[in-house]
Amino acid sequence: MSDNADWWRGATIYQVYPRSYQDTTGDGSGDLKGITRRLAHIAALGADAIWISPFFKSPMADMGYDVSDYCDVDPMFGTLADFDELIEQAHALGLKVIIDQVLSHTSDKHPWFVESRSSRRNRRADWYVWADPKPDGTPPNNWLSIFGGPAWEWDAVRKQFYLHNFLTSQPDLNFHNPDVQDALLTAVRFWLERGVDGFRLDTVNFYVHDRQLRDNPARRLTARQKASETNPYEYQNHLYDKTRPENLRFLRRFRALLDSFGDRASVGEVGDGPRSLKTVAAYTSGGDKLHMCYTFDLLGPQFSAAHVRRSVEGFEKVVVDGWVCWAFSNHDVIRHVTRWTRPDGDPRKVARFAIALLACLRGSICIYQGEELGLQEADLAFEDLRDPYGIRFWPGYKGRDGCRTPMPWSHEANAAGFTEGKPWLPVPDGHKALAVDAQQADAGSVLARYREVLAFRKQWPALLTGTIEFLPAQGDTLAFLRAAGNERLLCAFNFADEPAQIALPEALGTPTPLGLPGADGQVSGSMLSLPALGTFVGRVG
């Protein structure tokens, strides 16, 4: 892909969870030098960029998403010099580097918060969201924390509540204060000047809260939804604690800073329930805010042609001039091979099907470390958990540690080659058998298929940046056209466990197969036959 301002459009981004990628010190946790050591694997896969989850100084109450210093590396991950070396080596391999920015909140150990909570009159007294209690001593409103309980914590020094949308040790910054915005943009500039190519913005729609602190209304849930929910957070319609219109002004300031450095990019995480697509549209429209966003539409349990079509068509309808980044897995959700493999199914077949589908969707795509090996969710014992979210809601919800276990590199080595010490999370035996070295020379492995499909995707401009148009399809099948210039490609997928046929519009003519790796669809005239979990890509007139 050429080096230009639009490098991110259609890019393949590989997410690295640094604590679990490669340990070089023997302490059982991954580090920046470990990522640098394994960059060749990412480049050989066919990725265009890496996204590195937080490695900043932190007490690690939420695994680094509680930052205590935005401009330094936590010693467990290494040093700034290690990061500079990572940047240099990544760029030498043609890889862009995207880093997480957790701007909505800090750690309660951050110097800003330490000063803010010390009194009601100090230079940072208004840098966080503080509020007096109601007359009866209860919190100022009904807002809830995603991690359980009220979103307000009492502070005995200021004799006020402070807002925390996540852990009590993650106080929310007050974006209504321009000094806060300036300080955060200064931190962003620090990393831009070190050479990063972009940012993934964590919880980007949580930045701004309602000034009036109005109560959230109840959300209308069906009896089935109530029975399935383990977290009361979902019982509210979150109108006032997030996704406030004032956030757009900050995003414009953020984009202006990025644009001043040239070909940099941004991708925002939007978790906004039924409103997610409207939020993505607002945050990516006009070319003056975020470059792209991703939602949780394809990060859930639904595995059907209808759901994928509904999600993609919904985006295309609502987000007119924005851009999306699709992902099936990340560090917060159950791995998609586990979510989508039926009880008697073959997870390897699901993995191969999924990468073919992802590569054909319109948008940029994100691959989460280990999915190129077909890793399934690890089943961990309660005593092995490190995720505060899982510990809080166990056993109704087991948390996110099952998708965060260490990357297996060598099937015979200690901890599968991740560390010479005791890994911070266990490495399942099933993962060891799927290690990189065990798949490296196997032409039929999931790893080989990922490499082949990503290489195939780069050959066709229509798959990278072209339009998408869905065709009528029968049963649990999906068919759509991708087009760019004179290039028109038919992409078809059978989600079912039995063979299916798709009657193609006569105007398309007979598609010419293009050799999508693993594609097993057969064309006869205007009829396309697909086996169970079958795929097809062909050129049409």
Residues assigned a catalytic role: 202, 269
Residues 6+ apart with CB under 8 A from 222: none
Determine the Cα–Cα distance for residues 16 and 30; give it in Å rounded to an integer: 10
Residue from 73, 26, 15 nearest 48 by CA? 15
* Other CB atoms within 10 A of residue 356 CB: 26
Residue entry with tokens 């990725």: 47
- Yes or no: say if 415 and 20 are a contact pair by the CB < 8 Å rule: no
**Identity at 452, one-letter amino acid code:** E
Please give the backbone phi and psi of residue 333, each rounded to the nearest 5 degrees, phi first: -130, 160
Instruction: Compute the distance between CA of residue 166 and CA of residue 508 in angstroms, rounded to an integer.
Output: 51
Residue 232's nearest CA partner among 154, 157, 150 is: 150
Q: Residue 182: CB partners within 8 Å, gap ≥ 6? A: none
Cis before 395 (ω within 30): yes
Instruction: Match 């090996």 to its residue by tokens.
Output: 373
Tokens of 436: 């990189």
Residues 113 and 67 sit within 8 Å (Cβ to Cβ)? no
List the Cα angle 215/131/68 in 5-degree steps: 110
Q: Which residues contact 3 (CB under 8 A, 6 or more apart)?
A: 263
Could you give the CA distance from residue 341 to residue 527 in angstroms, rounded to a whole number? 28
Give the chain's length.
541
List the one residue out of 231, 243, 229 whose CA is nearest residue 271.
Answer: 243
